[in-house]
Structure 1
Amino acid sequence: MIVLGIDPGLATTGFGLIKTTSISHTYIAHGQIKTDVEMPHNVRLLKIYNDIENIINKFSPNVISIEDLFFNRNTTSAISVAQAMGVVFLLSAQHNIPAYAYSPRVVKQTIVGNGTASKQDVQRFVSLLLGVPTESMSDHETDALAIAICHAHQRGGYDI
């Protein structure tokens, strides 16, 4: 099964792909989709849409896992993240790919064993699990790969 993990955001959306079986995970790819703050809002969402659609077409994931909205005091940021999430859920429906959302706490608990783990701890465990050097990943890319691994563990590795 190929899992596409997404860390949604309007300015930067991280993505990570893994191939997973009931006993192992294999790294496929990771990257970022960046949008320019000078672009109109709708054009930024369209860029995210087009880039994720290209990823779907290139890698044919069986499932998409996405980091669920973490709401803090910045409502403007939360709304932008929710809009980017909506783009991902729309693409999953259009391509008939199941999509699952996981809270940051569940992702950290699954990867590190501690729901309040630091970003550095998550990055270290993702690197160990997939054999990807930590210096080659941004926080968004690490989170996306962690979300993909989280889905594999939450759904038994091979059961979508």
Structure 2
Amino acid sequence: MIIMGIDPGLSSTGYGVVEKRGDVLRALGFGGIETSPRDTMSARLAKIYREVSELIGRYRPDLVVLEEIFFSANARSAMVVGQARGGIILAAAHAGVGVEEYTPLQVKQSLVGHGRADKKQVEYMVKALLRLEEDPGSSHASDALALAICHAHRERMLGRVEEKTRGATPRKPPHKKRESG
């Protein structure tokens, strides 16, 4: 399975592509899409859409994974990230690729084991789990790889649950007592 994680942002969108074969994870590529604040909003969004479309064409992921948007005190910032996400989701939809979303808490729990992990701990685990010799270069690329790893871990857990429950006899519902009337 090939998973493309994307950390959306208007100025910098990080991407990370991970291949999952059995329990082995391997980074196929990672980097960033940068836009200039001097460009119009539509030009910046078009660039994100175009470059994500090119990345999807190059890596042919089975799935795109995004960070779920969370609303902070800065509504404008959340709206701008939402617009970038829209371009990314549209690029995936046009390519026929599904999209999953995870919260930062879910990603931290999956990689580090608890939701209070800081950026350095997540970056360390990304590097260790993918056996990278160098850091991914930016926190956005690292976050994108973390998203892909999070989904790979979820898939592994779901696969194990399916294995354990395959062939199991379904439980019968409890017998209902008749009410006398």
Q: Which ranges in structure 1 are unaligned for 5 or more consecutive residues?
A: none
State the structure with bigger RCO (CA 8 A, min sep 6), 1 or 2.
1
Distance of 2:144 and 2:158 partners within structure 1: 18
Task: Provide the TM-score with structure 2 as the length reference.
Answer: 0.84
Distance of 1:134 and 1:82 partners within structure 2: 31
SS of equivalent to 2:156: coil
Q: Which amino acid aligns with 2:25?
A: H
Distance of 1:46 and 1:33 partners within structure 2: 12
Q: Which ranges in structure 2 are unaligned for 5 or more consecutive residues?
A: 160-181
Distance of 2:29 and 2:38 partners within structure 1: 28
Instruction: Give the aligned partner of residue 49 of structure 2.
Output: 49
Determine if contact 2:26/2:130 at 8 Å carries over to the other structure. yes
Distance of 1:97 and 1:85 partners within structure 2: 15
SS of equivalent to 2:3: strand
Does 2:83 correspond to 1:83? Answer: yes
Distance of 1:158 and 1:20 partners within structure 2: 14
Determine if contact 1:20/1:158 at 8 Å carries over to the other structure. no
Distance of 2:45 and 2:109 partners within structure 1: 30
Instruction: Give the aligned partner of residue 63 of structure 1.
Output: 63
Determine if contact 1:151/1:157 at 8 Å carries over to the other structure. no
Distance of 1:32 and 1:110 partners within structure 2: 23
Q: Which amino acid aligns with 1:82?
A: G
Distance of 1:136 and 1:111 partners within structure 2: 16
Q: Are residues 87 and 118 of structure 1, via their aligned partners in 2, closer, same or farther at CA, if it must alter by over 3 Å?
A: same
Instruction: Give the aligned partner of residue 120 of structure 2.
Output: 120
Instruction: Give the aligned partner of residue 99 of structure 1.
Output: 99
Measured against aligned partners, the alpha-carbon deviations of 1:61-105 in whole angstroms (never above 9, x if no partner) come to 111101111221111110011111111111121111111010011
Q: Tell me the CA shift for residue 157 of structure 1.
A: 7.6
Task: Provide the TM-score with structure 1 as the length reference.
Answer: 0.94
Determine if contact 2:25/2:130 at 8 Å carries over to the other structure. yes
Quick check: which has more Rg, 1 or 2?
2
Distance of 2:44 and 2:157 partners within structure 1: 33
Determine if contact 1:21/1:158 at 8 Å carries over to the other structure. no
Q: Which amino acid aligns with 1:36?
A: S
Q: Tell me the CA shift for residue 27 of structure 1.
A: 1.0
Q: Tell me the CA shift for residue 24 of structure 1.
A: 1.0
Distance of 2:158 and 2:19 partners within structure 1: 10
Q: Tell me the CA shift for residue 116 of structure 1.
A: 1.4
